[in-house]
Structure 1
Amino acid sequence: MTSLVILLFISFIVILMLGFPVAYSLGISSFIYLVLSGIDLFAIPQKMYAGMDSFVLLCIPGFVLAGNLMNVGGITQKIVDFGNHLFGHIRGGLGYANIGSSMIFAGISGTAIADTASVGGIMIPAMKKSGYDSEYSCAITAASSTIGPIIPPSVPMIIAGTLTGISVGRLFIAGLIPGILVGFFQFFVNWYMSKKNNYPKGEKKSLREVLSSFKTAFWAVLMTIIILYGILGGIFTPTEAAIVAILYALIVGMFIYKEIKLNMIPKLIVDSARSSASILILVGFANVFAWILASEQIPQMIANSMLELTSNKIMMIILINLLLLIVGMFMETISAIVILFPVLLAVTRSFGIPDIQFAVMAVLNLIIGLVTPPIGVCLFVASKIGGISLARISRAIVPFLIANILVLLLVSFFAPITMWLPSLM
């Protein structure tokens, strides 16, 4: 490893510690390397554009805008209301409704933080009002948000596929079974915790009320079905699915639920553009950084170093899982994927692990990191909504973390969970 590469890493870490966003830390450290190595600085815009010039990346602003339209248009509220009518009479019913809402919401938003903020804004106050502990209400909301980036569509999987050439459509399909497993394992945790703490039952709704709630939520649920069936059935690509989601959310929000007004749309577009731009700038600078690493053969060096540690496939999978779980606690998911995924992919390929299986494993690892103390981002979001300390939610999240890690182990060591559905394509 040359002195310039060492300087590249040191400058990246120092700039990051100074509080700069990851995107700018990658860009500035790459700039320093190029200046000192005498490489033409035109390489920066060229490599940035090459990284962002992908048809698949168009679905990121699409799904971000669709999620914003869905929140403002009342679709999230209708999903949660239906879950409450369906499960509310069971002990811990609001917990089941919380998880179930996240599973439906996952088919639209594609991000864990969006799920925590949107569903949490409705469910956490409702659970506290019904007699649930504040920490449990926040913990189950944060934990269920991990389903969002696993069940398609998934922004992290879009990034992983774009960086490595893996089919995004196949990645979406591969995440379906693991996402459902996460949901069902969390159902079990909620059942156990509700029984242990004697959480309340709600009033049982009549069949007429349940059907009425479903009728109201029908258009919201149908949106998820259209997106999933469209992608799984090969009717449209992930990018086309994002456009369909925007049009659908707009029509439902404006003409059926009538909660979106014309004067709200410009602000929604601007907010979505800002969120999308931050992701795309990160991808662009990361491509410059990755190009430097590739030219210096750093991925091969890291892969060889890891292979020297052990030649045992099981031990290597455990090491990679531990690395990604730790990184996921401290680094934003997309940033971690951009930096680590191509490097670790070289290692897993040498052990014969399918690319799609590793991609789902990596995304699930990093998403679990978002709800892992001490600095899981989703924990901060949920604790802020619930008005409790991070220490309280950190204790309550432990059973859900155990459930998530059990699913992670299944995904890591049992390939058919991720490979069966893609093999049918």
Structure 2
Amino acid sequence: MLAPEVVSAAGPPTGVRAWAGRAEAALGLAVEAVAAMLVAVETAVLLAGIVARYVFHSSLVWSDELASILFLWLAMLGAVVAFRRGEHMRMTALVTRAPLPLRGFLEALAIAAPIGFLLLVLHPAIDYAMEESFIVTPALEVPGSWRASALPVGLGLMLLVAVVRLLRLAGLGRGLGALALVAAVAIGFWLAGPALKPLGNLNLLVFFVGLVAATVLAGVPIAFCFGLATFGYLALTTRVPIMVVVGRMDEGMSHLILLAVPLFIFLGSLIEMTGMARAMIRFLANLLGHVRGGLSYVLVGAMYLVSGISGAKAADMAAVAPVLFPEMQQRGSKPGDLVALLSATGAQTETVPPSLVLITIGSVTGVSIGALFTGGLLPGAVLALVLCLVVRWRHRGPEVVRAARPGGREILRSLVIALPALALPFLIRAAVVEGVATATEVSTIGIAYGAIVGLLVYRQFDWRRLGPILVETASLSGAILLIIGAATGMAWALTQSGFSRDLAAAMASLPGGQAGFLAVSILAFVILGSVLEGIPAIVLFGPLLFPIARTMGVHEVHYAMVVILSMGIGLFAPPFGVGYYAACAISRISPDEGMRPIWGYMLALLLGTILIAAVPWLSIGFL
């Protein structure tokens, strides 16, 4: 996250910085109000569609279309809110170790670089929205520009927020210096354009390795690192119209299945607010809290259970971390150990239904989503066991504080209290499997159930927290969806370069048969998971590699589990894994603190993934 205390000068803001602060606050509050309203409206629209279909036996043919239009607006305005709040994911390991003057300049650069990207894509986004005006939606019969206008409006608002934020935090002098550096780099690349074109696919190393690595290490938010690299590659080395970048971002961010992201994040926050998560975790704590490292086991188990509720890793972590971390810190756990284990459990539960990655694999490869849901439970449990072995080894010494063992009556009482919460994962799975709701809609059933249980059973529904939760949902969703949009654009650029086809052909010709193919798949998807994020990587490589797996005799559900777990390791492994920074942001713990302790967990997850790859029964034994 951005660090205003590093950038800003000492003393209260005056002059330009004071004016910028007032402008940022006014603009931010207006955007937050609209974004929060969009989360609530999306929930109501999808829930109304389910009620109309299964209660009144009359489908609302316009509900999905309206949800799709509002979703892109939610994604873009959420990204604006995230920028204003400094919640876009980025790596600060090197920034925080820099000398104080350099650190302040790098923090200013983390705002100036996105300004450069926003300036470059704003005009193409306007052109894209105008082009979409010629398309009329089938149900509502409105121009496509109603939806596509979210892109230039969101980018423009983000640009305004970035400028006033840069002035407020860095001041006029340092802000202009950071902008001058960004402009100088851009001009340098433009002048080098004639020399870059003859390099062919070596430009992939220049832009998607060199430029991405440089900007990530400099602390620029990940989404803008991807966007700058894609824009530079297409503008300087190809003849592709830049408007295509905006179109690919739109495609990546507006896929209706991704609407599950904000809704499941909202559900995760809701079960935390209503006490449902606390009830589940208290039951687990009564079972295991008295043993050595007991709350770490509870964290592993709670993430497994909550993954069955939300389906979104950010929502899972947001539901568990605030409940468990204060108590774990009181018992002597270090913040770095906590965020490392939280990240590892995020990777561990990627196959636990209703995982968004499972749903995406089913949609792009044709594999049965029901089979994926069934096959994903045991691999997640195997990795949970592996993580518990690491926890046991790390807690072999004396604990600072150890809880007393509760009696059987207390355990039974906590089970009875937790039953309404424990029923939610089964309700969600049943709704999807029985066809009551789609994977996108099912979160609204969970939201309605959670609200009812919170109001009538746990009686902890705090109406005053609802507004902030909606804003936080929009902010976190915007940060995640902007990364997915930027990664989708980068994935499309890689496809056009022929890289994806070359990779697929190379993997098909590997020696060693199934074992060699699976081994290279693990390595490739660990890398892809850290660079592309799970869903764009699946969209890009799933249709290419799953047919190869079938021809080599690898069961598609088994291969899906290997691929997902490998991507999960990459997604949550620093320094590039964006999931790790999401865990740090949710935990409010500096990414630097978890860098060392996380590697033991990542090694354990890798060994567990190799075990699952070697034993197909773990993935397909219950199909």
- Which TM-score tier does this pair reach, normalised by the shorter chain? 0.7 to 0.9
Alignment of 1:84 with 2:272, yes or no, is no
Q: Which residue of 2 aligns with 1:146?
A: 347
Return the alpha-carbon distance in structure 1 between the equivalents of residues 265 and 271 of structure 2: 10
Q: Using a 3 Å threshold, how does the CA distance of structure 1 residues 2 and 279 change in structure 2: closer, same or farther? A: farther
Q: Which residue of 2 aligns with 1:68?
A: 269
Equivalent position amino acid for 1:410 in 2: L
2:381 pairs with 180, 202, 227, which one?
Answer: 180
- Do the aligned partners of 1:156 and 1:363 also contact (CA within 8 Å) in 2? yes
The DSSP-based 3-state class of the residue aligned with 1:156 is: helix
8 A contact 2:290–2:403 mirrored in 1:
yes
> 8 Å contact 1:282–1:335 — kept in the other structure?
no
Q: Match for residue 276 of structure 1? A: 477
* Bigger shift: residues 247-256 or 381-390: 381-390
- Give the Cα separation in 2 of the matches to 1:34 and 1:165: 35
1:406 to 1:234, Cα distance in 2 relative to 1, 3 A: farther
Task: Measure, in 2, the Cα distance between the counterparts of 1:384 and 1:224.
Answer: 22
The partner residue of 2:397 within 169, 192, 197 is 197
| Equivalent position of 2:407 in the other structure | 206
- Which consecutive residues of structure 2, in runs of 5 or more, have no partner in the other structure? 1-196
Match of 1:124 among 325, 335, 345: 325
Shift of 1:324: 2.6
1:319 matched to 2:512? The reply is: no
Q: In the alignment, what sits opposite 1:33?
A: 234
The corresponding residue for 1:416 is 617
Given residue 265 of structure 1, which amino acid in structure 2 is its aligned partner? Answer: L
Secondary structure at the aligned position of 2:441 is classed as helix
Cα deviation digits, residues 126-148 of structure 1 (max 9, x gap) = 23323556665554444333333
Label 1:118 to 1:382 Cα distance change in 2 as closer, same or farther (>3 A): farther
* Paired position in structure 1 for 2:147: none
Contact 2:265/2:315 (8 A) holds in 1: no
- Report the CA distance between 1:323 and its aligned residue: 2.8
Q: Given the superposition, is the C-alpha separation of residues 138 and 350 from structure 1 closer, same or farther in structure 2, using an over 3 Å criterion? A: same
- Give the aligned partner of residue 217 of structure 1: 418
Q: How many Å separate the matches in 1 of 2:588 and 2:474? A: 29
Task: Assess, with a 3 A threshold, how the Cα gap between structure 1 residues 55 and 370 changes in structure 2: closer, same or farther.
Answer: closer
Q: Return closer, same or farther for 1:165/1:288 CA change in 2, 3 Å cut-off.
A: farther
Is 1:248 aligned with 2:444? no
Aligned residue pairs: how many? 420
Deviates more, 1:375-384 or 1:200-209: 375-384
Evaluate the alpha carbon distance shift between residue 165 and residue 39 of structure 1 in structure 2; reply closer, same or farther with a 3 A threshold.
Answer: farther
Contact 1:27 1:286 in 2 (8 A): no
1:151 Cα deviation from its structure 2 partner: 1.0
**Aligned equivalents of 1:121, 1:413: Cα separation in 2:** 37
**CA spacing shift, 1:347–1:10, aligned 2, 3 Å:** farther
SS of the residue 2:292 aligns to = coil
Aligned match of 2:130: none
Give the letter for the 1:186 counterpart.
L
Per-residue displacement from partner, 1:168-193 (whole Å, max 9, x unpaired)?
Answer: 44333321111122223333443454
Partners of 2:390 and 2:487 in 1: CA distance: 38
Q: Is the 8 A contact 1:88 1:202 kept in 2?
A: yes
Kindly indicate whether the alpha-carbon contact (under 8 Å) linking 2:584 and 2:591 is maintained by their aligned counterparts in 1.
no
- 1-structure distance, mates of 2:198, 2:362: 30
2-side partners of 1:354 and 1:219: how far apart?
37
Q: For 1:320-399, what aligned pairs fall within 5 Å after superposition? A: 320-329=521-530, 332-334=533-535, 336-345=537-546, 347-372=548-573, 381=583, 385=587, 390=592, 393=594, 396-399=597-600
Query: Once the two structures are superposed, what CA deviation does each residue of 1:395-417 show, in whole Å capped at 9, x if it has no partner?
Result: 54455334322321132222232
Please give the per-residue CA displacement for 1:291-345, whole angstroms capped at 9, x wherever unaligned: 5555564432222233445353312221221233344456644454455545544
Q: Distance in 2 between matches of 1:75 and 1:65?
A: 14
* Residue segments in structure 1 that go unaligned for 5+ positions in a row: none
Bigger shift: residues 157-166 or 173-182: 157-166
Q: CA deviation at 1:154?
A: 1.3
Tell whether 2:372 aligns with 1:171.
yes
- Of 94-103 and 266-275, the range deviating more from structure 2: 266-275
Change (3 A) 1:152 1:14: same
Q: CA deviation at 1:41?
A: 6.1
Residue range with higher mean Cα deviation, 6-15 or 206-215:
6-15
Structure 1 residue 157 corresponds to structure 2 residue 329:
no
Q: d(CA) in 2 for partners of 1:382 and 1:389?
A: 6
Q: Residue 304 and residue 379 in structure 1: after superposition, are their counterparts in 2 closer, same or farther (change >3 A)?
A: closer
Change (3 A) 1:32 1:87: closer
Partner amino acid, structure 2, of 1:197: G
Q: Give me the TM-score of the superposition, normalised by structure 2.
A: 0.58
Q: Is the 8 A contact 1:62 1:242 kept in 2?
A: yes
Is 334-343 or 252-261 further displaced after alignment? 334-343
CA shift at 1:364, angstroms? 0.9
CA contact (8 A) 2:357 2:534 kept: yes
Q: Which has the larger radius of gyration?
A: 2
Percent of aligned positions with the same letter in both sequences? Answer: 25
Q: Which amino acid aligns with 1:106?
A: S
Tell me, yes or no, if the aligned pair for 1:302 and 1:343 is still in contact at 8 Å.
Answer: no
Distance 1:68 1:401 in 2: 27
Stretch of structure 1 that moved more, 306-315 or 7-16: 7-16
The 1:136–1:42 alpha-carbon spacing in structure 2 relative to 1, beyond 3 Å, is closer
Give the TM-score of the pair, scaled to structure 1: 0.80
Q: Is the Cα–Cα contact under 8 Å of residues 318 and 586 in structure 2 kept in the other structure?
A: no
In 1, Cα distance between the equivalents of 2:369 and 2:610? Answer: 23
Q: Per the alignment, in what secondary structure is the counterpart of residue 205 of structure 1?
A: coil
**Aligned-partner residue type, residue 181 of structure 1:** V
Bigger RCO (CA 8 Å, 6+ sep):
1
**Distance in 2 (alpha carbons) for counterparts of 1:298 and 1:269:** 40
One-letter code aligned to 2:503: I
Relative distance call for 1:122 and 1:332 in structure 2 (3 A) is same
**CA contact 1:27–1:288 (8 Å) conserved in 2:** no
1:216-240 CA-to-partner distances (Å, cap 9, x unmatched) read 2222211122113333455543223
Please give the alpha-carbon distance, in whole angstroms, between the structure 1 residues aligned to 2:502 and 2:449.
48
Distance (whole Å) between structure 1 residues aligned to residue 473 and residue 365 of structure 2: 26
Distance 1:311-1:207 versus aligned 2 partners, 3 A rule: closer
Q: Could you tell me how far 1:163 is from its partner in structure 2?
A: 4.1
SS of corresponding position for 2:505: helix
Partners of 1:375 and 1:293 lie apart in 2 by: 18
